Amino acid sequence: MPELPEVETVVRGLERAMTGRRIVRVEMNRPDLRAPMPPDLVARLEGRLVEGVRRRAKYILVDLDDGTVVIAHLGMSGRITISAPGAAPNRRDPHDHVVLHLDDGTVLRFNDARRFGRIDLSDRVGLARHPLLSGIGPEPLDPAFDGPALAAALAGRRTPIKAALLDQRVVAGIGNIYACEALHIAGLSPRRLALTVAGGRAERLVAAIRDVLTRAIAAGGSSLRDYVQASGELGYFQHDWVVYGREGEPCRRCGAGHAVRRMAQAGRSTFYCARCQR
């Protein structure tokens, strides 16, 4: 599933293509994805001017000039791609479930083979209370997210720190890949109880989260399976992974003789170094 860097990369591409443009035609090729799409989606979008595109956690938010906000989630295999004005028409894909035509000729396609994605509508005033967004924790790149804030969110939690990082109520947008990477950078075992991550440990973990997410965004995210940027290009941060997917390889911190291990936590693979993560 695309995580924060992948979604942020897509948002930046959409922002360049959509901001200031009017949606002139909408093709809705099926009524549902993971959940039913709004039945008035076409009517609410056609003719509207796009004021901006932003991200909240793993959700893409498109602000329209009448106060409507389009909420989109890529799910497991979803992608949004852009065909620039004047580009040769793409052959219709059966998984292009929603297609937007902009006033300059740009075409955007929401393609989702597995249909785990979502598209919904809200108004700007009530956005924070929308069921998909209410209760989501702080953005990890927000200056307000610091060591004390993370320690407060983890206080009393007896779950492993890896599981806590995947809880969107603790911090927004972090998934399996970047939780593994950040814990390795911070030198913290994924098994460590979340409530013990306070003080210097919390400060190290926040710094590691910021570092890995910032570098991943700069690299266009990590391309696994279906993920591509809005331009259709692949991200390449997977080449910089220090532990994720590297089971049996030498730890890049400890060197030869100390291999990266893999274990299952809550049904997901966790990659770590038993020697340098405590």
Catalytic hit among 48, 55, 56, 58: 58
Instruction: List, for residues 74-104, the tens digit of each pLDDT value.
Output: 998 888 988 888 776 677 789 999 999 999 9
Which pLDDT belongs to residue 235?
Answer: 45
Q: Which residues of 168-177 are buried (b: 16+ CB within 10 A; e: fewer)?
A: bebbbbbbbb
pLDDT for 57 beyond 70:
yes
- Interatomic CA distance for residues 155 and 177, integer angstroms: 24
134 part of a folded domain:
no
Catalytic hit among 192, 210, 268, 275: 268
Catalytic hit among 3, 6, 8, 181: 3
Give the number of domains in the chain. 2
Do residues 243 and 162 both lie within one domain?
Answer: yes
Which pLDDT belongs to residue 226?
Answer: 46
- Interatomic CA distance for residues 275 and 29, integer angstroms: 52
Whether 2 is catalytic is yes
140 part of a folded domain:
no
Residue 238 pLDDT level (bands cut at 50, 70, 90): low
Residue where a domain stops, chosen among 101, 129, 157: 129
pTM of the entire predicted model? 0.91
Instruction: List, for residues 135-152, the tens digit of each pLDDT value.
Output: 999 999 999 999 999 999
Residue 236 pLDDT level (bands cut at 50, 70, 90): very low
Domain extent at residue 259: 147-272
